[in-house]
Chain A
Amino acid sequence: MLQARDLWKAYGSKAAVVGVSLDVAAGEIVGLLGPNGAGKSTTVSMLCGLTPPDRGTVTLSGLPVADEASPAKRRIGLVPQDIALYEDLSAIGNLELFGALYGVKEGLADRARAALELVGLADRAKALPQTFSGGMKRRLNIACALVHDPDVLLLDEPTVGVDPQSRNAIFDNLEALRSRGKALVYTTHYMEEAERLCDRVVIIDHGKVAASDRKEALLALLPPDKRTRTLVRDASLEDVFLHLTGRDLRD
């Protein structure tokens, strides 16, 4: 569905992205992993038409994702790394605004309510985001990218600073979207998130694709004596935490 071919981007003399290519199919979550400054956010910016590449193309079902008012941008939802919400507009007000900006006219209020329902904030529709917890804001941040029902969702580190309950709820939301046939690109620092969610993983470092494949195939890249480390642990501290504190949202 979403195709990036040979993307290049430099800021001054510093190369941020060097020849990145990737594909995301419908009903698939692709993880974009990499250390800080690896070029993940720049890649996401180019995928959604926010930053024009110096070279290379991005297409969505064959349509170019160009800068400005490209029609293909209507089919993409972006969840920025920052909590990009108007704190003085109600939750539903934020959703209706971003829906209108993507050209949603018919049934905007219904779509906004559905997006709130999906992220578990239906009962806080009229509340201001400034009264929300960090986890609730993160979920509303995702809902704002879903209100126009995009085919592709780009998530740039959407779980930074949230509690395990909210993170778990976000994962459930994303898995539900995948099952509806959406294509998702998920940028993260957390390997366990990628392991749980992603069908395929693209590892970026120094602006280049270091590896791109399914998790099992990536594990095969390790020397045999180093693979055991990934196999010995069948439970994590997070599993214990969720077991003791439950999976219910606390907002």
Chain B
Amino acid sequence: MTPLAALVRKDLKLYFSNRRALTITLAAPILIAAFFGAVMGGPPKKPTRVPVAVVDLDKSPVSREIVSAMRADSTFELQELPEPEALALVREGKARAAVVVPAGFGEAAPRALFAGGGPKPGIAIHYDPSQAMALAMVRGLLAEHVMKAVSLAAMGPRGAGGFVMPFTTDTHEVTGRVNAKYNGYAHSFAGMGVQFILFMGIELGVGVLLMRRLGIWKRLRAAPLSRGLLLGSRIVSGTLIASLLLAGIYAAAILVFGVRIEGSVAGFVLIAVAFAVLTSTFGLLIAALGRTPEATRGLAVLATLLLVMLGGAWVPTFVFPEWLQAATLFVPTRWAVDGLEAMTWRGLGFEAALAPVGAMLAFSAVFAAIAIRRFDWEEA
């Protein structure tokens, strides 16, 4: 056996012989990705009804028609309440919004429908600011129901059922395949896979510091091995371990959570390997810059969490401010997460894998160069 093969075999044996640690390394990303996937998109599922309260201070036929139309709307889970109770419900977070139809609305609104018909009556919408995304939906659907009820009242029998939306919308999810539903697990598994494999990279780096402390590094250095071989073997074994872990995590994603590689399989493999190389060079960087295993582990975990957060592993990067979205192009994890998503649910072809692979390998080269330059070879 060559020295390189012996060193790599040793690293793999030591890593995979610790069954308990291995189980946790695999189980943690799968469980957390399952949770994130379920709450942030998850598999195709029935839409949830939005809890809304309505207060009818008018009690006119127009307001009754509005309340009745809202009740019939399957988007709402409607409760008709007196105003103080409706506001209390919003404050407690049990309703997203409370719609208050004022007294006199049924009389004023039909007149206001025409130019010069008098002042427009106001409908108050009290909403939960922590659920502000629901406001636009409530406002849009309310407009539809109010227009229908008010136009019917304004035009009488000529209205023939009142104004209705003169068009319908037909929505389509743009995913890897025609008619394929978006699977939120594809994002969460990319994010959590990247996060936990980087944690494994930290352990690879800290492992070198521990070897130094135990004197094993001195013994390795005393052997007739070049520096390139010693560091190169860590890159090879780190890449193999990271690739195998990513394969395990995605096996669970595919078999249990229905994630599919809708794009290029070769592109997916290439991105996985490039990320594995990135992980092992990240570990080497930690070994080169770290001093004690304990202090290094803490700082490296903090750095990893920042990288992962900015890389869009927790929440997609489109929710970031524009400047931050541009800045995260210089974060290697962004390329990993985007690349894995491109090959899974986005269903993009092999050529879409080339940019993420190139970026990750470039980051790897920079990490390795800094590590080699800063590595302390001096043995007292």
Contact = CB atoms under 8 A, between A and B. Distances in A.
Contacts of A98: 219, 223
Interface string A1-28: 0000000000100001000000000000
- Chain B interface size band reads 20 to 34
B17 A100 contact: no
Contacts of B221: 50
B3 A70 contact: no
Contact of B224 (A42, A74, A80, A83): A74
Nearest to A46: B379
Given A11-B380, A69-B226, A88-B17, A103 B3 contact: yes
B17 A76 contact: no
Contacts of B7: 97, 101
A111 to B, nearest CB: 13
A131 to B, nearest CB: 15
Contact of B214 (A41, A68, A82): A82
Interface in B207-239: 214-216, 218-227, 229
Interface in B257-286: none
B225 A89 contact: no
Nearest to B378: A51
Interface in B2-30: 2-3, 5-7, 10, 13-14, 17-18
Contacts of A97: 6-7, 10
Given A68-B227, A100-B1, A101-B220, A83 B10 contact: no
A119 interface: no
Nearest to B2: A100
Interface in A36-57: 41-42, 45, 48-51
A108 B3 CA distance: 13
A170 interface: no
Given A45-B379, A89-B14, A97-B6, A84 B215 contact: yes
Contacts of A96: 6
Interface residues of A, number: 37
Interface string B82-112: 0000000000000000000000000000000
Contacts of A81: 215
The secondary structure that dominates the B interface is helix
Given A80-B218, A81-B215, A84-B218, A45 B380 contact: yes
Contact of B18 (A78, A86, A88): A88
A74 B216 CA distance: 17
A144 interface: yes
Given A81-B215, A82-B215, A97-B6, A102 B223 contact: yes
A42 B380 contact: yes
B3 A100 contact: yes
B17 A101 contact: no
Interface string A59-72: 00000000011110
Contact of A101 (B214, B218, B225): B225
Which one of A85, A98, A100 has the greatest number of beta carbons of chain B within 10 Å? A100
A138 to B, nearest CB: 12
B6 A100 contact: yes
A41 B378 CA distance: 13
A175 B215 CA distance: 25
Given A45-B218, A45-B380, A73-B223, 7 more contacts: A68-B224, A78-B219, A82-B214, A83-B214, A86-B14, A101-B223, A103-B3
25 contacts: A16-B380, A45-B218, A45-B379, A45-B380, A49-B222, A51-B378, A69-B225, A70-B224, A71-B224, A73-B224, A78-B218, A78-B219, A80-B215, A80-B218, A80-B222, A81-B215, A83-B215, A96-B6, A98-B223, A100-B2, A101-B7, A102-B223, A103-B3, A105-B1, A108-B1
Interface of B: 1-3, 5-7, 10, 13-14, 17-18, 214-216, 218-227, 229, 378-380
Smallest CB-CB A-B distances: 4 pairs? A82-B215, A100-B6, A84-B215, A73-B224
